[in-house]
Structure 1
Amino acid sequence: MNNNCTEVEDPYIRYVMSQRPFGWNFTDPPVFKPYEFEKVDPFYWVSLMEDNWKVAFYAAAIYIVAIFGLQKFMENRAPFELKKPLFVWNLSLGIFSVIGFVRYVPGFMLVLSQPNGFYRSICIKDGMDLPTGYWTLLFAFSKFWELGDTFYIVLRKRRLVFIQYYHHVVTMIVVWIVGPLVEPISRWYTVLNYGVHSLMYPYFALRAIGIRVPVFIANLITFLQLSQMIIGFTVNMTSLYHQQIGNDCIRYPVSIKAFSLVYGSFILLFGKLFYDSVIKSGRRQKEKKLL
């Protein structure tokens, strides 16, 4: 990567390269011994993201045009069943999320267990071993992979709701362009996402092949999704608070603003989803039983 910011023409790249918080060495003693495939050069991949930050916007544009174009194409056609492909798709994402969560949690908990662990986990650069660094990178790249969810909805002619494509696009863009700042707080966003997806995608896989899952599981997943957004927003605001009172906290204005917008909008959207699918639906079920 070219470290001379004056030789870079793109304003955003100049900004990221000048603000990027160096200090992670990715050589902290790992809680678990890293596998060979986890021994990647994190600086190469972070540099790749910096140099290709527009890729997320291109992918978002292609994605939006493709899903609505495909939806138009399917208007007068029979829906595809796609049970087996959808099962494999969701199962693969579920397995990926479970492995990511299992590999990520030990390093995350090690930081939390230290004195002032919560503060350190959102503000201080430590606890980034090779497995944690590797699965953080995969988390960023997986946001492109997850765009495929929507194509199954369109091809099966299921109802395409705003929250579906909005959260995919916004998450992908923000994670991709803010990721190169390598902020300590990113560990929170990553572990929360892996954790919720570890339950969500296996649930979708079972539903895809017609296996009935208790309603409380679906309600639990919706609750966890909303909780993820509330926690994400809370740790983001907590880091801003630490900066305001003069504590050292490695956060940057562009990231704080971006995640405030993202998690703020997600709280509203997933809050409505939780109300409609859990609270309101539960009331209807109670009313039916009383009749």
Structure 2
Amino acid sequence: MDVMLHLNGTHLHLPLAEYGFERRFDERGAIAWMQENWCTSFVFSALYAALVFGGQRFMKPRPKLNLRRPLILWSLSLAVFSIVGAARTGSYMFHVLSSSGFKRSICDQSFYNGPVSKFWAYAFVLSKAPELGDTAFIVLRKQKLLFLHWYHHITVLLYSWYSYKDMVAGGGWFMTMNYAVHALMYSYYAARAAGVRVPRPFAVLITSAQISQMAMGLTVSGLVYRWLQHGDCPSSVNNIMWASLMYLSYLLLFANFFYNTYLRRDADCKAKKTE
């Protein structure tokens, strides 16, 4: 079944069947709710930080917990959610790209209210709150908590809720890329938690995909700023500034993680072998 897509006054047929829950989703109500309540993301972030660092102090004199089965279920649930989200938003973005071009895929707001994607756009921003639960497993299992981990969780939550309320340009790219990377990442976590020995190149692939995502996020932000000057991209200088700072910080942090985890470790291993 074809569904109608409205892009800047142009009607296009989208060759994607909508599921019933996608068709019935009230995106106007969702956007209105977010416009009134997006600041709640600061409350979630503050509670998250307090529980994370308070939890570390609480666990310090206590033995670590195993939590293997809950971790498998948690990671598998997020993997399935991300895979489906990537498939639905990816198919939508592919159609817009192939029918209307790259600029339209960035600047048009149809991703927030169009068929198929409207449900998954809202599901994406809401999912950033429960995803904070990732850190609970790190704290309770007494694993090393990286700055990159908790910083990334907080800033993605804040920026996602802040941007969804204004339906800013670039959102389709940001969300689809994140869905796709998380599909790989949570599948990897679920396999590791289940005791599957995942080949090392797969971990390298995931971090490389994250770095590519951040580089593309910076590129999209730059293009939104360029086209904003011509009145073609609905956004604001403030939003573009926050997006650019966020993606630049991610790019540097993930590149540093890649270097320390894969390149420097390999170099250290080779040096030890030659001694």
TM-score of the aligned structures, taking structure 2 as reference length: 0.91
**SS of structure 2 residue aligned to 1:146:** helix
2:162 to 159, 177, 187: 177
Mapped partners of 1:204, 1:226: distance in 2: 18
Aligned length: 266
Letter in 1 for 2:211: L
Instruction: Name the residue aligned to 2:37.
Output: 52
**SS of structure 1 residue aligned to 2:165:** helix
- Give the superposition deviation at 1:24: 8.4
Instruction: Name the residue aligned to 1:216.
Output: 201
Superposed CA deviations along residues 91-117 of structure 1, whole A, max 9, x for unmatched, are 0000000000111111101111135x1
% identical equivalent positions: 37
Instruction: Name the residue aligned to 2:262.
Output: 278
- Give the superposition deviation at 1:195: 0.5
1:33 to 1, 8, 17: 17
Instruction: Name the residue aligned to 1:69.
Output: 54
Mapping of 1:53-132 within 5 angstroms? 53-115=38-100, 117-126=101-110, 129-132=114-117
Superposed CA deviations along residues 144-165 of structure 1, whole A, max 9, x for unmatched, are 0110000000000001111110
Superposed CA deviations along residues 213-245 of structure 1, whole A, max 9, x for unmatched, are 10000011011111111100111011112234x
Instruction: Name the residue aligned to 2:238.
Output: 254
Mapped partners of 1:40, 1:242: distance in 2: 31
Mapped partners of 2:272, 2:205: distance in 1: 22
Superposed CA deviations along residues 230-282 of structure 1, whole A, max 9, x for unmatched, are 100111011112234x3622221221111011111111111111111122123
- Give the superposition deviation at 1:181: 1.0
Say whether 1:201 aligns with 2:186. yes
CA contact 1:28–1:129 (8 Å) conserved in 2: no
Superposed CA deviations along residues 104-132 of structure 1, whole A, max 9, x for unmatched, are 111101111135x1111111344653210
Instruction: Name the residue aligned to 2:4.
Output: none
Superposed CA deviations along residues 186-221 of structure 1, whole A, max 9, x for unmatched, are 000011000001110010011112211100000110
Letter in 2 for 1:37: F
Which deviates further from its counterpart, 39-48 or 29-38?
A: 29-38
Mapped partners of 1:199, 1:81: distance in 2: 24
Which deviates further from its counterpart, 150-159 or 249-258?
A: 249-258
**SS of structure 2 residue aligned to 1:181:** coil
Mapped partners of 1:165, 1:31: distance in 2: 40
**SS of structure 2 residue aligned to 1:277:** helix
Mapped partners of 1:197, 1:91: distance in 2: 11
CA contact 1:30–1:129 (8 Å) conserved in 2: no
Which deviates further from its counterpart, 130-139 or 148-157?
A: 130-139
CA contact 2:97–2:105 (8 Å) conserved in 1: yes
CA contact 1:31–1:107 (8 Å) conserved in 2: no
TM-score of the aligned structures, taking structure 1 as reference length: 0.86
**Structure 1 spans left out of the alignment, 5+ residues:** 1-22
Letter in 1 for 2:254: F
Mapped partners of 1:44, 1:154: distance in 2: 36
Letter in 2 for 1:283: A
The 3 A distance-change label for structure 1 pair 50 and 28 is farther
